[in-house]
Every structure is written in C-alpha cells, then in structure tokens.
Chain A
C-alpha cells in the first residue's frame, strides 16, 4: 500500500477553519484518498474521500493537489467535537479491500 505522511499533532482554535495536511508522494493513478477520524473512546468514522477532484460534504472539504501527491482536509469551522485523530488513507481501486490506517494527526481544539 502506498504510504501517507501526516503531522503527529495539530492545534486549532474553536470556530476557526482547520487545514489538515497529508503527503502521499508515491500515490498511483488508481489510488483513492480517504479520510477517517476517531473521536475519543469511539470507532473510526468516515469523513470524506476523493480521487482527483476536490470534494465537499456536510462534514468537511477535501482539496487534492493537481499532481495528487498531497491533499488537505478542511474543517470549515472547528468545534470542540472535532477533537479527534484524523487518518489519511490511500486505497487502490485494484487492491484488496482493507483500509490501512497510519498514525494519523491528533487534532486539539482550543476553546
């Protein structure tokens, strides 16, 4: 599986936008970019995913670089509930079905 690199931790102020970066320089043309998050004492939760184009949903936006070697998860207005570990995951369209979780970014929201 292609690897991703994320900062170990980030802090952000409540009610401000948060940009969570992910580098995936070895991404292949068939790899989808998935983001999950894990709130304290809970199972991982799907956030968003995309292939080439930027994506928006009710939770977040995903900005994918033109060369696809990096992506950014954008939380438009962070709340205390967004404090979690955020995982950026690559999955090949032709690979097996597992999602391989890395160490993720621990996001702390400051009130």
Chain B
C-alpha cells in the first residue's frame, strides 16, 4: 500500500459525459502528479501540482483539467469524453517539489475509466 488513494477504482460512462477522478496523496506529500496509461500510449504524464499550484504540464488535453485543493487532495476532471479516453488514470505523490534527489514517486492503484 503506497498510501495514495484514488477513487473511484472503476468508472463506466458514455461518450460526451464528464467525470471527476479523485486522489488523496500520502499524508504530508505536497506534490501530486497525474498520469494516463492506455494500451497504445503507455504511461503519459498529464500534470503536476505542488502545494496547490500547477508546476508542470504534459500531454493533457484541453478537455481535461485538474486542481489541488488546500487539503492537498487533487481532482482530475475529464469532459466531453471520447472512446479514446478509456484508460487507467494514475495519481502519484511526493513530499517534495523536485524528486530528482529522492527519486521516489508513490503511485496509487489507479482509476480505470471505460467510455462506451
């Protein structure tokens, strides 16, 4: 158990809909990262927040948005869903802003989104 909690674990919805994925980082971790893992794209970095502020952005679509709240939990909002958005969405946390020296990101078990 990494200490990172993601909900829901599974979600099935229809095209055009909107969903919200939630992540609770490990206690005390200030950084939250979101990754998308699909069969054809592998693990893709989406976005990082540190203490409530956006710090790095990856290949995140404009239909997707995220935020980190004062209690440090984070939400990833996916709207106008398409079939291709079906994937595993992982949240990871770290106690620091720069992980280079510590090396360690702690990943949750993911939220599996299926768009029909």
A7 shortest CB reach to chain B, Å: 16
A-B contact pairs, 26 of them (CB 8 A): A32-B101, A32-B103, A42-B110, A43-B4, A43-B90, A43-B92, A43-B107, A43-B108, A43-B109, A44-B43, A44-B92, A46-B105, A46-B106, A49-B103, A92-B100, A93-B100, A96-B55, A97-B48, A97-B55, A97-B56, A97-B97, A97-B99, A98-B56, A100-B45, A101-B35, A101-B43
* B2 and A45 within 8 A (CB): yes
* B33 and A98 within 8 A (CB): yes
* B56 and A102 within 8 A (CB): no
Contact A43:B2 (CB < 8 A) given known A32-B100, A93-B100, A97-B98: yes
Binary flags per residue of A17-51, CB closer than 8 Å to B gives 1, else 0: 00000000000000010101000011111101100
B contact residues around A45 at 8 Å (CB): 2, 107
Interface residues of chain A, those whose CB is within 8 Å of chain B, are 32, 34, 36, 41-46, 48-49, 87, 91-93, 96-103
Rounded to whole angstroms, the CA-CA distance of A96 and B101 in the bound complex is: 13
Besides the contacts A44-B92, A44-B107, A46-B104, what 18 more A-B pairs have beta carbons closer than 8 Å?
A: A42-B109, A42-B110, A43-B92, A43-B108, A43-B109, A46-B103, A49-B104, A91-B99, A93-B100, A97-B31, A97-B98, A97-B99, A98-B33, A98-B58, A99-B105, A100-B45, A101-B43, A102-B42
In chain B, positions 1-36 with a C-beta closer than 8 Å to chain A are 2, 4, 31, 33, 35
